[in-house]
Amino acid sequence: MSSLWTEKYRPADFSQVVGQEETVRRIKSFVEQKNLPHIMFSGPAGTGKTTLAMLIARKLFGEGWRQNFLDLNASDERGIDVIRNKVKDFARTKAIGNVPFKIIYLDESDSLTKEAQQALRRTMENYAGTCRFILSNNYSSKIIEPIQSRCAVFRFRPLNEAELGTLADRISAGEGLTVDQGAKKALVDSSEGDCRKLANIMQSAAASSEAITEELVYRHAGVAKPKEIKEVLALAIAGKFVEARDRLFNAMAAQGLSGLDVIRQIQKETAALDCEPARKLRLIDRCGEIEFRMVEGADEFIQLEALLSNYALPR
């Protein structure tokens, strides 16, 4: 985790993990029994997967948890060699202490190649007596079925507005910051359920001022103000295409936004437009097509112009 504040405010106990109550309850019962199955944590970024894995190790092994816990990021080391060497070397030795197994945590395991996953499957079978695996990923569908069937799967959801607001209050109190209501709502909206992103935005904003405002949040979050996007869409729907285009491109230039950043905000604001449902559906469908074209390498300014023209066309 890159943010110092993310590390500083990482939960130190199961009771401090928010947003994943049912998952935490089940994990806590495993830890109390000191009998852990292979586990798969699946869900969006910044929802507590790594935090919970470290909590498991700390509660099981106490002060010596680092000797019994191997943390690997599969996006950095994603080939079969890491499974054959690092993972096997760690898994074949006994744990230190009164817990009969070690823990290997594979972060971003959906980045592992298919060959590496097949090797991991055999390793999970052969060393089940001395080692437990915790696999963390954003997309469980990228993990082969034989591995999924060997794991107890826990699905993490994005944090809701109240949970993110509580975290923002905790950080602002701990760091002596002033966060007004507009800034708090901006933090929640721009974080999109990711508590790590919220901590990063707050840390960046606090470097500029201890009084965090809505303007400051949007400047450091790297997103356009929702009000600006609404105004652009309103101009386009009113038939003022050139004015809408210029307003959008000026906002992008002022804040250094990419086309992909903007298209996601446009899609979000389109869902809240006051227009007939059939037209709204067509526009949302068009947003998806334009985003695909950008990902494939099309010029983002031409694509955004094409998108705005759909809003400006007569019904």
* Closest alpha carbon to 217 in 191, 250, 256: 191
Write out 111-125 in H/E/C secondary structure. HCCHHHHHHHHHHHH
* Residue 136, beta-bridge partner list: 41
Q: Are 253 and 300 in contact (CB under 8 A)?
A: no
Q: What is the pLDDT of residue 214?
A: 87
The DSSP secondary-structure symbol of 94 reads P
- Give the model confidence (pLDDT) of 125-150 as tens digits: 888 888 899 999 998 899 999 999 99
Q: What is the pLDDT of residue 293?
A: 94
What's the CA gap between 139 and 109, in Å, rounded?
9
The crossing angle, in degrees rounded to 10, of helices 259-270 and 277-295 is: 170
Q: What is the pLDDT of residue 1?
A: 39
Q: Are 159 and 193 in contact (CB under 8 A)?
A: yes
* Closest alpha carbon to 192 in 162, 160, 155: 160
Percentage of residues in the chain having pLDDT higher than 90: 29
How close are the terminal C-alpha atoms of the chain, in Å?
48
- Give the model confidence (pLDDT) of 18-64 as tens digits: 888 899 999 999 999 888 899 999 999 888 899 999 999 999 988 88
Q: Identify residue 24 by its one-letter amino acid code.
A: V
What's the CA gap between 305 and 187, in Å, rounded?
29
Per-10-residue mean pLDDT, the chain, length 315:
67 85 91 90 90 91 88 69 75 82 89 85 85 91 91 92 89 88 89 88 87 86 85 90 92 85 88 83 92 93 93 80
The crossing angle, in degrees rounded to 10, of helices 181-191 and 195-206 is: 130
What's the CA gap between 21 and 168, in Å, rounded?
19
The DSSP secondary-structure symbol of 14 reads G
Domains and CATH numbers, the chain: 20-155 (3.40.50.300), 161-221 (1.10.8.60), 226-312 (1.20.272.10)
Burial class (CB in 10 A: 0-12, 13-18, 19+), 174: exposed
What's the CA gap between 263 and 269, in Å, rounded?
10
Q: Are 263 and 223 in contact (CB under 8 A)?
A: no
* Closest alpha carbon to 270 in 293, 248, 287: 287
Q: Are 44 and 138 in contact (CB under 8 A)?
A: yes
What's the CA gap between 9 and 251, in Å, rounded?
34
What's the CA gap between 192 and 224, in Å, rounded?
14
How far is CA 29 from each of CA 36, 37, 93, 233, rounded to the nearest angstrom? 9, 12, 26, 51
